[in-house]
């Protein structure tokens, strides 16, 4: 089996995008599990931008793991300058539990401090042998699924909520049908991995399952890398709006003397060139010109917000993902 990602350690790994001797400045970006390749590329572009603007060289270090684990590490003292996460609640707790950022952090940058977004999609094997087209195909008895665990992964929570949004769209107010669909889908999961990259490894390198459920960006990146059609990307007609929030960590940038650098690092994600780079990694972006350039890459679909599906993140976490919550109940029901 061809290896998709080589030399990536399991768990959080502190990485330097490229060794730099005696850099003038240093920045630490803590990010989610499957963002390694994206930020390795972005960091090179930003270093050029910063040096042209200020004359200073900068070394950018990366720490990657599930964003919930990253948030906890920051609260416990990992002195990150910026957080680039895949779930709003994981940044919210930096204020709620750590008092490291202000409550209104999402108002400091455009689009609720989410410079790019994605949705949930399916990766299937060559030729789509199970004829997977939409969410209802995933509950068939002959289909085995691989996905990140919603209890440990923002990616997994997005997948769960996307499936829930589809069920609500299909069955309206019929809660019994919604619950049965969700129980059936969860019952078809062969492997719940702890994070998104682990789920990808299980599906691609270990050859387990018929369908990988993960971010559309990850699905398209894998399909692009395998040029002989070993994998096919399928984007369902209804899915979840997955925002990727970012923030600088106020307390730590003050301690580190990196406030200006950290803010510029995140603001630069909104420039047209950076939006084009993000789209090149198969993320959906807000810049109109870049969106038009990539219109054929991203199919139109019905994107449901967290408010529409679960009444907001606070309610989603307490109702669905808490101990004994809806997720646990559905898994016991199967």
Q: Looking at the structure, tell me whether residues 49 and 66 fall in a common domain.
A: yes
CATH code of the domain in which 251 resides: 3.40.190.10
Q: Looking at the structure, tell me whether residues 109 and 222 fall in a common domain.
A: no
Q: Looking at the structure, tell me whether residues 309 and 267 fall in a common domain.
A: no
Kindly state the tokens that stand for 145: 């699924």
State the DSSP H helix or E strand holding residue 61, giving kind and residue range, or none if neither. strand 58-64
Closest CA to 61 of 87, 91, 84, 92: 84
Please determine, for residue 3, whether its predicted confidence score (pLDDT) is greater than 70.
Answer: no
The pLDDT assigned to 11 comes to: 38
Kindly state the tokens that stand for 255: 């301690």
Per-residue pLDDT, averaged over 154-167, amounts to 96
Q: Looking at the structure, tell me whether residues 17 and 97 fall in a common domain.
A: yes
Cα 36 from chain centroid (whole Å):
11
Indicate the SS3 state at residue 131: coil
β-pair type (242-243, 302-304): unpaired
Q: Looking at the structure, tell me whether residues 32 and 110 fall in a common domain.
A: yes
For residue 236, count other CB atoms closer than 10 A to its CB: 25
The whole-angstrom separation of Cα 29 and Cα 63 is 6
The pLDDT assigned to 33 comes to: 84
The pLDDT assigned to 334 comes to: 66
Q: Looking at the structure, tell me whether residues 55 and 173 fall in a common domain.
A: no
Band of residue 246 on the pLDDT scale cut at 50, 70, 90: very high
**DSSP letters spanning 132-157:** --SGGGGGSTT--EEEE-TTT-HHHH
The whole-angstrom separation of Cα 147 and Cα 126 is 19
Mean pLDDT, all residues of the chain: 93
Q: Looking at the structure, tell me whether residues 171 and 310 fall in a common domain.
A: yes
Q: Looking at the structure, tell me whether residues 285 and 315 fall in a common domain.
A: no
pLDDT, tens digit, for every residue of 41-95?
Answer: 999 999 999 999 999 999 999 999 888 889 999 999 999 999 999 999 999 999 9
Please determine, for residue 17, whether its predicted confidence score (pLDDT) is greater than 90.
Answer: no
pLDDT, tens digit, for every residue of 266-280?
Answer: 999 999 999 999 999
Indicate the SS3 state at residue 54: helix
Q: Looking at the structure, tell me whether residues 235 and 156 fall in a common domain.
A: yes
For residue 310, count other CB atoms closer than 10 A to its CB: 23
The model's pTM:
0.88
Q: Give the whole-number percent of the chain exceeding pLDDT 70.
A: 93
pLDDT, tens digit, for every residue of 163-214?
Answer: 999 999 999 999 999 999 999 999 999 999 988 899 999 999 999 999 999 9
For residue 3, count other CB atoms closer than 10 A to its CB: 10
Q: Looking at the structure, tell me whether residues 196 and 168 fall in a common domain.
A: yes
Q: Looking at the structure, tell me whether residues 234 and 97 fall in a common domain.
A: no
pLDDT, tens digit, for every residue of 299-317?
Answer: 899 999 999 999 999 999 9
Domain count for the chain, please give it: 2
Number of H-type helices and E-type strands within the chain: 15, 15
Q: Looking at the structure, tell me whether residues 224 and 259 fall in a common domain.
A: no
* Structural domain boundaries enclosing 100: 13-117+244-293
- Assign residue 6 a region (left: φ > 0; alpha: ψ between -120 and 50; beta: otherwise): beta
Q: Is position 328 within any domain? A: yes
The alpha-carbon radius of gyration of the chain (Å, integer) is: 20
């Amino acid at each position: 089996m061809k290896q998709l990602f080589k030399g990536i350690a399991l768990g959080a790994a502190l990485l330097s995008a490229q060794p730099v001797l005696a850099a003038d400045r240093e920045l630490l970006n803590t990010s989610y599990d499957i963002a390694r390749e994206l930020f390795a590329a972005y960091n090179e572009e930003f270093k050029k931008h910063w040096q042209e603007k200020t004359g200073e060289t900068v070394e950018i270090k990366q720490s990657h793991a599930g964003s919930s684990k990253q948030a906890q590490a920051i609260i416990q003292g990992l002195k990150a300058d910026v957080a680039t996460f895949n779930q709003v609640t994981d940044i919210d707790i930096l204020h709620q539990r750590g008092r490291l950022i202000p409550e209104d952090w999402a108002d400091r940058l455009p689009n609720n401090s989410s410079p790019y977004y994605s949705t949930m999609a399916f990766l299937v094997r060559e030729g789509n042998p199970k004829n997977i087209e939409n969410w209802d195909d995933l509950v068939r008895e002959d289909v085995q699924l691989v996905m990140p665990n919603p209890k440990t992964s923002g990616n997994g929570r997005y997948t769960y909520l996307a499936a829930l949004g589809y069920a609500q769209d299909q069955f309206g107010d019929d809660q019994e049908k919604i619950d049965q669909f969700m129980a059936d889908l969860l019952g078809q999961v062969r492997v719940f991995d702890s994070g998104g990259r682990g789920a990808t490894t299980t599906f691609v390198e270990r050859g387990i399952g018929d369908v990988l459920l993960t971010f559309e960006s990850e699905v398209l990146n894998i399909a692009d890398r395998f040029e002989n059609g070993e994998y096919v990307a399928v984007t369902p007609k209804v899915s979840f709006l997955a925002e990727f929030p970012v923030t600088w960590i106020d307390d730590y940038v003050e301690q580190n003397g990196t406030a200006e650098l950290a803010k510029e690092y995140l603001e630069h994600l909104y420039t047209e060139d950076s939006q084009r780079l993000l789209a090149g990694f198969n993320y959906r972006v807000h810049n109109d010109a870049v969106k038009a350039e990539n219109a054929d890459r991203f199919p139109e679909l019905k994107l449901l917000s967290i408010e529409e599906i679960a009444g907001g993140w606070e309610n989603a976490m307490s109702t669905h993902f808490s101990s004994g919550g809806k997720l646990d109940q559905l898994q016991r029901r199967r």
